[in-house]
Structure 1
Amino acid sequence: MFDFAVFGSLFLTLFVIMDPPGITPIFLALSSGRPAKIQRRMAWQAAAVAFGVIAVFGLCGQQILDYLHVSVPALMIAGGLLLLLIALDLLTGKSEEPTQTKEVNAALVPLGMPLLAGPGAIVSVILAVQDADGFGGQLSVWAAILAMHVVLWLTMRYSLLIIRVIKDGGVVLVTRLAGMMLSALAVQQIINGVLQVVDGA
């Protein structure tokens, strides 16, 4: 039987961690200057990649981490460092990659992974799948995961309307703000990972 408590709990947890409103300026910064068709494609690609990564870790995440001898804090620190590199590019306005690869890469990295499907979301899903009882519990968990990614796609898809309102000057401002937010998020993630390593030592 479908468990609305499990669904609601995981959905809210993922909403806080994946933060659809907070992802909007970062998505706008990474997708600005591209044709509308490519921006729309980036929105669903990012959501699809995030869902794919979360689904894989939901199904066999603990086994993957154990096999690779990778701890959760190591995953957090690596994700934080990757986000920090992206944030520095946004802050300095550098874009050295060719246009075509950048269009693809921005949707996959950093949007799909590790920004949306980051260590926090991955760990939450692994624990939720392990704790779910029976078919109803599992159905509730996967329904929450799917619903969260639909919300993420809709948020990014319709945030493109903002670009038409704020024009180029506004996009530059949003890009710098997004870089600052993302750098703070990255540093916090690295700190959390280091603190977990210290606590576990």
Structure 2
Amino acid sequence: MFATFLPILFTIFVVIDPLGLVPIYIGLSSHLEVHEKNRTIRRAVLTAFLVLFLFILAGKWLLQLLHIHPGSFCIAGGILLFIVSMEMLFGQATKSKVSNQEQQGPSDEEERISVAVFPLAIPLLAGPGAITTILLYTSTEGEIIPIMVMLVISVAFTLGVAALAMKGSHMVIHALGKTGVSVIERIMGLLLSGLSVQFVYDGLVKLHILSPGIL
């Protein structure tokens, strides 16, 4: 069980990338008062958790409804995660999480309130990469309930780290520096690239294109 949980936790953590969110959060919240920042963090984390929890509950049945074979989705998801890992390795803006338009800061009071939901919660915390990862794991054959429980714990833990990182954002930047955050992101990107290739291999096995144990 623990051997299954660790890869799930690691993948969710790397894809959501709570430490990498800190510089973006600082830019988005620079105009907010302290109490507004606290409300923004709570709202962003809660919204992201509800969105991801919905996909944890309904992900497997969504794939069945669309008649998508788990093996096919493993390959597609592995390719998407590989793109994310390349963006992390080369320090590019992560297009799978947020576009240039979505990174723009708010300009009036109404937008100040909504920044928690967009773009912090969606797509920065609960973006296509995180949703794809959840669908990958919920599409596996066998007992789904333990996988769903592990996903909920992993998402809750990662979002908790994201909340703490945002709350202490200036301390994180001061402790690690921009270079430190960049190095950590690249190491995570390298490890994620290996996991993404493993997803593609597992998909090929499920589609009976490769035999188990060929690698």
**Which TM-score bucket, shorter chain as reference?**
0.5 to 0.7
1:69 CA displacement:
9.7
**Counterparts of 1:47 and 1:73, CA distance in 2:** 26
**Counterparts of 2:155 and 2:163, CA distance in 1:** 12
Mapping of 1:22-101 within 5 angstroms?
Answer: 23-35=17-29, 36=37, 37-64=39-66, 66=68, 70-82=72-84, 84-85=86-87, 87-89=91-93, 96-97=100-101, 98-100=104-106
1:73 CA displacement:
0.8
Q: Greater helix percent: which structure?
A: 1
Q: How many residues are matched? A: 181
Task: Give 3-state SS (helix, strand or coil) of 1:88's partner.
Answer: coil
Give the one of 156, 168, 180 matched to 1:150: 156
AA in 1 matched with 2:18: T
Q: Cα distance 1:46–1:166, how it changes in 2: closer, same or farther (>3 A)?
A: same
Q: Cα distance 1:16–1:168, how it changes in 2: closer, same or farther (>3 A)?
A: closer
Task: Give 3-state SS (helix, strand or coil) of 1:131's partner.
Answer: coil
1:117 CA displacement:
3.3
**Counterparts of 1:80 and 1:71, CA distance in 2:** 14
The answer to whether the 8 Å contact 1:83/1:186 transfers is yes
Give the one of 5, 9, 18 matched to 1:15: 9
AA in 2 matched with 1:123: L
The answer to whether the 8 Å contact 1:47/1:149 transfers is yes
Q: Cα distance 1:184–1:167, how it changes in 2: closer, same or farther (>3 A)?
A: closer
The answer to whether the 8 Å contact 2:79/2:200 transfers is yes
Tell me the percent identity.
Answer: 10
1:151 CA displacement:
2.2
Task: Give 3-state SS (helix, strand or coil) of 2:20's partner.
Answer: helix
Q: Cα distance 1:16–1:53, how it changes in 2: closer, same or farther (>3 A)?
A: same
The answer to whether the 8 Å contact 2:70/2:203 transfers is no
**Counterparts of 1:23 and 1:88, CA distance in 2:** 14
Deviation beyond 6 Å, 4+ runs, structure 1: none
Q: Deviations over 1:8-56 (max 9, x none)?
A: 6765553233237x83312323322233243443333333332223322
- List runs of 5+ in structure 1 lacking aligned partners: none
Task: Give 3-state SS (helix, strand or coil) of 2:78's partner.
Answer: helix
The answer to whether the 8 Å contact 1:76/1:193 transfers is yes
1:77 CA displacement:
0.5
Q: So what's the TM-score if we normalise by structure 1? A: 0.62
Q: Does 1:107 align with 2:121?
A: yes
Q: Deviations over 1:142-168 (max 9, x none)?
A: 444433333233222122233132457
Q: Which of 148-157 and 106-115 deviates more?
A: 106-115
Q: Cα distance 1:196–1:63, how it changes in 2: closer, same or farther (>3 A)?
A: same
AA in 1 matched with 2:63: G
Task: Give 3-state SS (helix, strand or coil) of 2:19's partner.
Answer: helix
The answer to whether the 8 Å contact 1:47/1:152 transfers is no
**Counterparts of 1:109 and 1:25, CA distance in 2:** 15
Q: Cα distance 1:197–1:89, how it changes in 2: closer, same or farther (>3 A)?
A: same
Give the one of 149, 166, 171 matched to 1:165: 171
- List runs of 5+ in structure 2 lacking aligned partners: 30-36, 211-215
